[in-house]
Amino acid sequence: MDRIGIIGVGEIGRAIVDGLCDGVDNPPRIQLSPRGARTAAELSQRYPNVRVCADNQDVANRSELVVLAVRPQDRAEALAGLRVGDDGVVISLMAGVGIGELRETLGTGAPVVRAIPLPTVRERRSVTVTCPSHPVADDLFDGLGGALPLADESAFNVFSALTATLTTHYGYLATLTAWAARQGVPAEAADRYVRSLFQGVGRSLGDDKQSLGQLVGHHETPNGLNERIRTTWFDTANSEALAKALDALLADLA
Ligand SMILES: NC(=O)c1ccc[n+]([C@@H]2O[C@H](COP(=O)([O-])OP(=O)(O)OC[C@H]3O[C@@H](n4cnc5c(N)ncnc54)[C@H](OP(=O)(O)O)[C@@H]3O)[C@@H](O)[C@H]2O)c1
């Protein structure tokens, strides 16, 4: 698709535009909604193929593919009265908003696809879950690091729940660093070391020949320090508490 519209130009809208345009020879024509005005203006100045439209309907009118990237709580205002032609395609990034509701709100015969891009689409390095599979959506995200199409929304919700664990991981690293600083080591040294330690984890995860279980085993000395923290802190109770929080989130997403 050569004409892509984005309604809601915030963090993820910007990442998609960068991924589609930065260093790309023949980028698509991109229409942006006027809200998120500063980001939209910046993007239209940086990329000649990007323009800011008069309003959300103007975006839809000029686009074959419309990406909805507003916060879920802003959807009523953003989508009120919006008309998308039956020959278009809609991709919604809004967490927790089902296809049925979107179809009803938009009253369109156009295919509606949900997707969960991550900010690393900016570097075209993120796998994006889509539901249901649609060639236009899958093509778009293949170009941004890969599409992972799913047939049904209940599986999609499981992946949504997984994405919700990301900032907990950063919080975990911040907690480790703060703990080290409380022991009297310089905070900058702890910060630098924790970052280096977990960048190594990122690289190991890139090797998909090893299962996650094997990675645990390969990084642990039997009865060693890692095994001790894993079994004494990330014990059955802790692991069950995590599963319970995910179960509750999944129930809400469904
Ligand atoms: N961030 C992520 O990593 C991520 C990943 C996957 C999915 N998502 C989903 O993507 C959506 C956007 O997330 P985000 O993090 O990019 O949020 P964000 O940074 O807050 O951006 C939302 C944008 O929507 C604009 N907006 C608000 N009301 C609007 C309206 N009526 N018409 C047009 N635009 C309007 C906002 O403009 P103002 O600044 O003027 O209010 C803002 O620029 C959410 O539904 C989220 O669930 C996000």
Q: Tell me the CA–centroid distance for residue 167 and ligand 1, in Å.
A: 18
Ligand 1 proximity of 79 Cβ (cutoff 6 Å) = no
The DSSP code for 85 is -
Angstrom distance (rounded) from CA 144 to CA 67: 14
Do the domain assignments include residue 125? Answer: yes
196 alpha carbon to ligand 1 midpoint, in Å? 32
Neighbours of 181 (CB within 10 A): 15
Burial, 164: exposed, middle or buried (Cβ in 10 Å; 0-12, 13-18, 19+)? middle
Q: How far apart are CA 177 and CA 15, in angstroms?
A: 29
Question: Is residue 23 left, alpha or beta, with left meaning phi > 0 and alpha meaning psi from -120 to 50?
Answer: left
pLDDT in tens, 160-206: 999 999 999 999 999 999 999 999 999 999 999 999 999 999 889 98
Residues 32 and 140 in one domain: yes
- One domain for residues 147 and 174: no
Tell me what pLDDT residue 254 has.
Answer: 86
Q: Is the beta carbon of 94 within 6 A of some atom in ligand 1?
A: yes
Residue 43 resides in a domain: yes
Q: For residue 30, how far is its CA from the centre of ligand 1 (angstroms)?
A: 17
**HEC-encoded secondary structure of 111-144:** CEEEEECCHHHHHCCCCEEEECCCHHHHHHHHCC
Q: How far is the CA of 86 from the centre of ligand 1 (A)?
A: 25
CA-closest residue to ligand 1 atom 15:
11
Protein residue whose Cα sits closest to atom 30 of ligand 1: 78
Q: What is the pTM of this model?
A: 0.90
Instruction: Indicate if 207 and 113 belong to the same structural domain.
Output: no
Report which of 218, 87, 123, 102 is spatially closest to residue 115, judged by C-alpha positions: 102
Residue nearest to atom 32 of ligand 1 (CA): 78
Residues in Cβ contact with 95 at an 8 Å cutoff, skipping those fewer than 6 apart: 72, 116, 160, 253
| Cβ of 116 below 6 Å from ligand 1 | yes
Residues 121 and 184 in one domain: no
CATH code for the domain of 39: 3.40.50.720
Residue 88: what pLDDT? 94
Pairing of strands 65-68, 29-32: unpaired
Q: Same domain, yes or no, for 136 and 171?
A: no
10-residue mean pLDDT series, the chain (254 residues) = 93 97 95 94 97 97 97 95 94 95 92 96 95 96 97 95 95 98 98 95 89 93 95 95 97 91
- Does ligand 1 come within 6 angstroms of the Cβ of 119? yes
> Does a structural domain hold residue 158?
no
pLDDT confidence of residue 62 = 95
Whether the CB of 33 sits within 6 Å of ligand 1:
yes
- For 197-208, give one letter per residue: b (16+ CB within 10 A) or e: eeeeeeeeeeee
Closest residue by Cα to atom 5, ligand 1, is: 118
What is the count of structural domains for the chain?
2
Q: Is residue 172 a part of any domain in this protein? A: yes
Do residues 5 and 31 make contact, with C-beta atoms less than 8 angstroms apart?
A: yes
Distance 171 CA to ligand 1 centre (A): 23
The residue out of 127, 151, 175 marking a domain boundary is 151
Say how many Å lie between the CA of residue 17 and the centre of ligand 1.
14
**Which residues constitute the domain of residue 73?**
3-151
Task: Please tell me whether residues 50 and 98 are part of one structural domain.
Answer: yes
